[in-house]
Structure 1
Amino acid sequence: MGKIATPPLNDSTNGWNRILPPRRPHPSLQADILVDWVVVGAGQAGLAAARRLAENRPGDRIALVEAGEAGDGAQGRNAGFIIDTPHNIGSSLEALATARDYITLARAAIQSLEEQVRKHNIQCDWEAIGKLHTAVTPRGISQILAPTRKTLEALNEPYTWFEGDSLHQRIGFKHFSAGIHTPGAILVNPAALSRGLADNLPPNVTVYENTPVTTATLSPEIRLATPHGSIRAGKAILAVSVFAEQFGILRNRLIPISACASLSRQLSKEEQEKLAGLPSWGLTPANSFVGVTVRRTRDQRILIRQNMRYQPQLRREESSYNAVRLHHQDLFDRWFPALKGVTIEHTWSGFICISRNSGAGFGEVTPNVYSSVCDNGLGWTKGTISGLLIADKATGIDNPLITTYEALGRAAGLPPRPFRDIGIRARFSWELWRNRHEA
């Protein structure tokens, strides 16, 4: 039996959640239960896996356990982009084939999510308006945007190039020099989407929120202990992101990254009239390590996301948010001088799970136990499709997309700590210095 030494611990700072109406979470587990399936983690992968299991096995009993509340973990703390086309990839035939596979998988995920949003009328500010991939400097344009443009052309994917005034008129400020707009991306409030998916699962799925797993036995039988109950299950799917090592799987393969985001207060009608550009848009930076993700949301707030760092202890102290908030406020004041007096209202952090080679932790890890872990920063598409596919794999469904997903590769091994920490921090420092022009 393995003790979960560092369970998820979400603070109450998530701005996406705090701007939503109050929600009553599903009850926590208060008994000892026996089920056919247990899914651990109600992130993008866990929600998708639980739903697909229920569709594949409508007569089975399925438990979905979440340490916190739906929408308040990493799944509800991202920037709210559901991205269908890759960027920053090579132009080799192999890279193009991988890109085509990713597009196929991403669009299958988007189709599935859109079906749920429409079927259950999930109010998550779903906007099919695409996104911009932007650069600040000529170097960023030549090294990132120009190759991305060639890749999109090779893939026969639609895009629009914006540069200079044409870009500034679209977003209403002048920090970025050029951008590529791809029309297939979706923008959402990620916490609202997570809540809606969790609250509209099939009837043979029972959701237990505020139910952290404290100890886990995966072999020879599956037994999970929680603070006030236990679960025995025939089969399990672990969709636990950066916490996978706590369950004894994918050791020395995952890199936990924390990133901070802020939301401004809602703009008044007068302030909206002062802000040039489209009424809502979203942009991602050419370099995610140093660049800034920015959105103008449907409900008229400005989102700023930056400040990525390696976080092996799986905790980020709230005191660090003060400096981040001040930095984001400074960016806001410089970029939007006409909105003097508009303040940053919420600042928070969330975890991203990446691997050294952009591979995933997907498959059967021990008899009757499966994992769907490591979306490499593309949680809404990769997380959703991997959750759907791991449920198909676990139930013996012959889905050709399983082979497509597995072809993306397995998360590569890393040195043990402390060598891993030294190497990753050194690489981060190098990336920050080398790409400082895109800050």
Structure 2
Amino acid sequence: MLPIDALPQDDPTPGWFHTSQKRTPKPPLQGNASARFAVIGGGFTGLAAARQLAQNFPNDTVILIEGQQVGFGTSGRNAGFLIDVPHDISSPDYIGDPKIAKQILELNQTGQKILFDLVQQHNIVDAQLRHVGKYQAAVEDEGVRVLEAYRGGLEKLGQPAELIDGKDLPGIVGSHFYKKALHTPGTMLVQPSGLVKGLADSLPANVQLFEDMPITAIEYGAKTVLHHASGTVTADTLVLANNHFGTHFGFMHQRILPMFTYGSLTRPLTAEEQARIGGKDFWGIIPADPFGTTSRRTHDNRILIRNSFTFNADGRFKEGATERFRKAHRLSFERRFPDIKDVPFEYTWGGGLGMTRNGNSFFGELRPNVYGALGCNGLGTVRGTAMGTLLADLIAGKRHPLSDFLLSVEKPNMNPPEPFLSIGVNFTLRRGMANAGMEA
């Protein structure tokens, strides 16, 4: 028996969760249960895997286990961008190998389509999904060079992208802060917690969802036995869709880095404040510098500010982090929106990312009858949805060109041992955030 030495634990103030529609979570299992399939992780990847398994095996039960409440964890704490285009920051044109980039584009678009179709099919209104594209914005000359290189890379892929001059941006995003922005029209924006709650409440009838039920130990064998607070779940086939927590289940040891990034949401802007800044009523900005600030204006007229990173080795939040980074968010907000600088933040929170050194995820079989889709690299919305769906098809014996692609790519690289890992990662984070300059 392998004890699970780190259980999910996030801060209590995720803004997307508390501003989305309230729902009654499914209670944890009391006692023992068995099923052909068990999926651990009730985020985008796990929901997709459970749904597709249920459709592929309509006469079998799929047990889906979430350690917290659906929408409260990582999947409800991101910035809500469903991005279609690849973005390889290690390449001069942000595209890299065109053959790989085309596969990544198709993978992202597959995840987008799955989510869009589910929102329409089940009328998930609280997803607040809008197909408005994204603006990648630059403040300094180096950032402008990034945007120009990226536009060239996207042109090679045949993807539309428009450079917008800074003088035209206030009419779009209500801010005079940026020098230029690159608009790519394929991105969709969502209320991420509202979306995953809706996905959970529209699962097929043969999916049994248990929430607030962390797994405390696991036994591998002919069948997998999962231990929880009041009993066990026994499954013929296990799917791990719990991102960096998969490393605590005996796999991908020292290959996934549990990073946290932080966001703040203002209270809703008044009509007078909205008029003061102008711009469109719904948009999303990502930074030219990876360590810069992401910003959004939401469906309920709030402003989101998201920046700053920490390395949390056990994958759980650190006390005091939200208070510390709330100050950084305040400065970033006031730089961008000086005309409404006194609007307070209502929520500040952190959210986990499962990062790998080479930017690749793990997809496939981990051991007989145990499968995984792990290491989101900050793209868990669309990439996780596509990977969870493709993994369920792989288990059912259905092969797709995209699953063949995922099986063929290099697996996540090994990380250095401690203490060198923490020293190196923390140095890289501090340097990156410092070098972001005005982009932060």
Quickly name the TM-score band, shorter chain normalised: over 0.9
For residues 138 and 20 of structure 1, do their structure 2 counterparts lie closer, same or farther at Cα, with a shift above 3 Å needed? same
Give the aligned partner of residue 325 of structure 2: 324
Q: What CA distance in whole angstroms lies between the structure 1 residues aligned with 2:434 and 2:348?
A: 25
Give the aligned partner of residue 262 of structure 1: 264
Q: What CA distance in whole angstroms lies between the structure 1 residues aligned with 2:110 and 2:406?
A: 12
Give the aligned partner of residue 44 of structure 2: 44
Give the aligned partner of residue 315 of structure 2: 314
Give the aligned partner of residue 342 of structure 2: 341
Give the aligned partner of residue 173 of structure 1: 175
Q: What CA distance in whole angstroms lies between the structure 2 residues aligned with 1:276 and 1:318?
A: 37
Q: Give the residue type in structure 2 aligned to 1:159.
A: A
Q: What CA distance in whole angstroms lies between the structure 1 residues aligned with 2:95 and 2:226?
A: 45
For residues 324 and 422 of structure 1, do their structure 2 counterparts lie closer, same or farther at Cα, with a shift above 3 Å needed? closer
For residues 146 and 334 of structure 1, do their structure 2 counterparts lie closer, same or farther at Cα, with a shift above 3 Å needed? closer
TM-score using structure 2 length: 0.96
Q: What CA distance in whole angstroms lies between the structure 2 residues aligned with 1:437 and 1:189?
A: 27
Q: What CA distance in whole angstroms lies between the structure 1 residues aligned with 2:273 and 2:357?
A: 44
Identity percentage of aligned residues: 36
Alignment size in residue pairs: 437
Residue deviations 1:240-263, cap 9 Å, x none?
A: 111111101000100111001000
Q: What CA distance in whole angstroms lies between the structure 2 residues aligned with 1:158 and 1:24?
A: 42
2:50, 2:64 within 8 Å by CA — same for their partners in 1? Answer: yes
Structure 2 counterpart SS, 1:379: coil
2:133, 2:187 within 8 Å by CA — same for their partners in 1? Answer: yes
Does residue 188 (structure 1) correspond to residue 160 (structure 2)? The answer is no
Q: Give the residue type in structure 2 aligned to 1:432.
A: M
Residue deviations 1:19-69, cap 9 Å, x none?
A: 123210011111201100000001111000000101111111110000001
Between stretches 110-119 and 326-335, larger displacement belongs to 326-335
Q: Give the residue type in structure 1 aligned to 2:301.
A: Q
Q: What CA distance in whole angstroms lies between the structure 1 residues aligned with 2:49 and 2:95?
A: 32
Q: What CA distance in whole angstroms lies between the structure 2 residues aligned with 1:157 and 1:12?
A: 40
Structure 1 counterpart SS, 2:63: strand
Residue deviations 1:84-117, cap 9 Å, x none?
A: 0022344599622211111101111111111110
1:353, 1:377 within 8 Å by CA — same for their partners in 2? Answer: yes
2:95, 2:101 within 8 Å by CA — same for their partners in 1? Answer: no
Does residue 104 (structure 1) correspond to residue 98 (structure 2)? The answer is no
For residues 430 and 20 of structure 1, do their structure 2 counterparts lie closer, same or farther at Cα, with a shift above 3 Å needed? closer
Give the aligned partner of residue 141 of structure 2: 138
Query: 1:322 Cα shift?
Result: 1.6
Between stretches 167-176 and 119-128, larger displacement belongs to 167-176
Q: What CA distance in whole angstroms lies between the structure 2 residues aligned with 1:330 and 1:438?
A: 11
How do 1:10-89 residues align onto structure 2 when only pairs under 5 Å count?
10-87=10-87, 88=89, 89=91
Structure 2 counterpart SS, 1:51: helix
Q: Give the residue type in structure 2 aligned to 1:22.
A: K
Between stretches 266-275 and 245-254, larger displacement belongs to 266-275
For residues 408 and 182 of structure 1, do their structure 2 counterparts lie closer, same or farther at Cα, with a shift above 3 Å needed? farther
Query: 1:199 Cα shift?
Result: 0.8
Give the aligned partner of residue 279 of structure 1: 281
Give the aligned partner of residue 437 of structure 2: 436
2:222, 2:236 within 8 Å by CA — same for their partners in 1? Answer: no
Query: 1:437 Cα shift?
Result: 5.3
Q: What CA distance in whole angstroms lies between the structure 2 residues aligned with 1:90 and 1:391?
A: 35
> Structure 1: which 4+ aligned runs deviate by more than 6 Å?
none
Query: 1:428 Cα shift?
Result: 2.5
For residues 92 and 128 of structure 1, do their structure 2 counterparts lie closer, same or farther at Cα, with a shift above 3 Å needed? closer
Q: What CA distance in whole angstroms lies between the structure 1 residues aligned with 2:170 and 2:219?
A: 55
Where structure 2 has 5 or more consecutive residues not aligned to the other structure, the ranges are none
Q: What CA distance in whole angstroms lies between the structure 1 residues aligned with 2:252 and 2:352?
A: 17
Query: 1:217 Cα shift?
Result: 1.4
How do 1:335-374 residues align onto structure 2 when only pairs under 5 Å count?
335-374=336-375
Q: What CA distance in whole angstroms lies between the structure 1 residues aligned with 2:133 and 2:436?
A: 26
For residues 283 and 23 of structure 1, do their structure 2 counterparts lie closer, same or farther at Cα, with a shift above 3 Å needed? same
Between stretches 268-277 and 65-74, larger displacement belongs to 268-277
Between stretches 343-352 and 273-282, larger displacement belongs to 273-282
